Amino acid sequence: MVSAVLLRTSLERICSTQEVYLGRFIKEAVLDRAKFVDSNTNLGIILLHVPIAVAASREVGTLEKTLDELVQLTTTEDAVEVAEAVRVSNAFLGEPKKGPDLRYKGGIKEIQERGTTLLDLFVVASEWDTIASEWVNNFSITLSGAEQLLSGGSVLQLYMEILARYPDSLVQRRFGEDTARKISGKAKELLKDLSFDNVKKWDEYLYKKSINPGTTADLVASSIFVALLKEENLLNKFLDALQL
C-alpha cells in the first residue's frame, strides 16, 4: 500500500510536465519507492504504469496510438536508466537467455556500447518476460483487460483468465517453465468453477509453496489503471457491487 501511494506521487509528477523521458520517469519512480520500501513490491507495475500515464497525459489520438509512438521513440539513454532502475529495485532476475545481463554493471556497459534502445531491450526480453512483451505488443493484454473490466468483468475473473492464458514470468524465473505452465493449467481448470472455496484452497497451496504469480498481478493492476482512466466512476461501481 505504501508503494502504491508513492507511485501515485510519481505519476502525478510525470503528468505535470510536458517532457517525455520514459527511462528517467521509471527510474525516478523506483527510487521514490526505494526510499521507504527496500524490497521489490512494484517494479512490474511501474514499468507498465509509467508509459500509460505519459500517453494518457499527452494523448492526441487514441491511447493505443500514443503508447505505440512513445515506445518507438525510446533511446539508449532510456535503456540505461531502466537498467539502473531494475538493479536498484531489488527485483528477482534470472540469467537472461540472451542480451545484456542486468544483474551486473557489465550489462549496462553492453547497452551503451551497442546503442541499444529501450525498445530493443524489451524486444529481447519479450521472449521470456510478459511485461517486456507488453511494451513490444502495444500493451495488448493490459488494454484488453481494461475492456473486460469496463464490460462488467470482475478483477478475480480477469486475473485467472490472464494467468490461464499466459504462464507467469515471475513463476517461470523462480521455479522453471514446467511449474509456470502447471500453474496456468490449474488456473484454466479453476475457471470452470471459480468458487470462493476452490480459489481459497488454491491460494493456500500457492502460499505454502511460496509461488507468487506476480507478473499476472502487475498486468491486472495496469488493466485497472487503464479502465479507471477511461471511466473514473468504475471504482465506485466495484464498491457498490461489494456492498450488494
Question: What pLDDT, in 10s, does the model give residues 90-117?
Answer: 776 766 777 777 776 788 898 999 999 9
Please report where in the chains the cell 491460494 appears, as a residue: 203
Q: How far apart (Å, rounded) are the C-alpha atoms in residues 74 and 146? A: 25
User: Region 176-198: what's the mean pLDDT?
Assistant: 95
Q: Please name the CATH architecture into which domain 143-243 falls.
A: Orthogonal Bundle (1.10)
Three-class secondary structure of residue 142 per DSSP: helix
> Which H or E run includes 187?
helix 177-190
Selection from 53, 44, 63 nearest residue 21 by Cα:
53
Residue 182 has pLDDT above 60, yes or no: yes
- According to DSSP, residue 191 is labeled G
For the chain, the structural domain boundaries read 2-138, 143-243
Please report where in the chains the cell 514499468 appears, as a residue: 47
Query: Which of 17-21, 94-98, 168-172, 228-232 is most confident?
Result: 168-172
Fold classified for 2-138: Triphosphoribosyl-dephospho-CoA protein (1.10.4200)
Which residues does 199 contact at the CB level (< 8 Å), separation at least 6? 156, 190
Q: How far apart (Å, rounded) are the C-alpha atoms in residues 144 and 62? A: 14
What does pTM read for this prediction?
A: 0.91
Residue type, 46: I
Q: How far apart (Å, rounded) are the C-alpha atoms in residues 178 and 176? A: 6
Dihedral of CA 45/46/48/50: which sign? positive
Residue 199 has pLDDT above 60, yes or no: yes
Q: How far apart (Å, rounded) are the C-alpha atoms in residues 132 and 141? A: 12
User: Region 81-90: what's the mean pLDDT?
Assistant: 89
Domain 2-138 matches domain 143-243 at the CATH topology level: yes
Which of 47-56, 77-86, 194-203, 232-241 shows the lowest mean pLDDT across its residues?
232-241
Instruction: Indicate the burial class of 214 (C-beta count within 10 angstroms; 0-12, 13-18, 19 or more).
Output: buried
The C-alpha cell that represents 17 in the structure block:
510536465
- For residue 61, the model assigns a pLDDT of 63
Instruction: Indicate the burial class of 180 (C-beta count within 10 angstroms; 0-12, 13-18, 19 or more).
Output: buried
Selection from 86, 87, 16, 22 nearest residue 8 by Cα:
16
